[in-house]
Amino acid sequence: MAVTVVKIGGNVIDNAEALERFVKDFAELPSPKILIHGGGKLATALSTKLGIETHMIDGRRITDKETLDVVTMVYAGLVNKNIVAKLQREGCNAIGLSGADADVIPAARRSPHPVDYGYVGDINASQVNVDVLKMLLLAGITPVFCALTHDGKGSMLNSNADSVASAVAVAATALGEVDLVFCLELAGVMLDIDNPDSMISEIDESSYTRLRNDGVITKGMIPKIDNAFKAIHQGVSRVIIKHAENLVRDIGTIIH
């Protein structure tokens, strides 16, 4: 089977209109397909209401026990079930899951050295339970994963949504050809972020090295493309970076 794995982030989740458009487009994609979502700003907002201080290091959330409770409620509860309900409305039979459900995505708690990020999980794609994915997809059910995993010792772990998407995509290669789609707030990888007509249509490893050295690809785009090449080296056919509004359109940057 050919599987499409799609990842969305806060730029969609935090915008009600964008989420409505995305859900309609995602429902139009041919099955089998899998959706992975981040949490957006809702966890931070709820933490503030509950009087729980949010701590960040280099833009990464420190997940202490109180914060873990909040992200579990928000990511696996509010955000996940809201997306699933909208997909059901559009005729896409979806099931909302965390990595703990059916032991689909176990993870290892990240070492506290050199920085202790708390209850944060790192994923090994070889440990993703592909048999569960296969069972759901063959039954015509679309899995919708939040970015939560578990340590096998009774604790949930907060994981990076891009990493979850990459690991699930790599695992799904056991079922057939896989496309991995990262949805951003940009049309794709841009030569000039201020010029909407400067999207790069294709990137291979040699052009990526050149674009990094020239300072065109910087900051948060670097780990995303690094993850893309890692997924390709582990069997994913294509990685596409595109704007969520172009999900069903052939517009975006193809990493190959």
3-185+221-247: in CATH 3.40.1160.10: yes
pLDDT band at 193 (very low <50, low <70, confident <90, very high): confident
pTM, full prediction: 0.95
Give the model confidence (pLDDT) of 80-137 as tens digits: 999 999 999 999 999 999 999 999 999 999 999 999 999 999 999 999 999 999 999 9
The distance in angstroms from the start CA to the end CA of the chain is 20
Average pLDDT over residues 183-205: 92
Average pLDDT over residues 8-31: 96
Q: How far is CA 38 from CA 49, 71, 96, 98, 222, in A?
A: 20, 10, 13, 11, 19
User: Would you tell me how many other CB atoms lie within 10 Å of the CB of residue 31?
Assistant: 16
pLDDT band at 201 (very low <50, low <70, confident <90, very high): very high
Q: Is the pLDDT of residue 59 over 90?
A: no
| pLDDT (0 to 100) of residue 169 | 97
Percentage of the chain exceeding pLDDT 70:
100
Average pLDDT over residues 62-71: 95
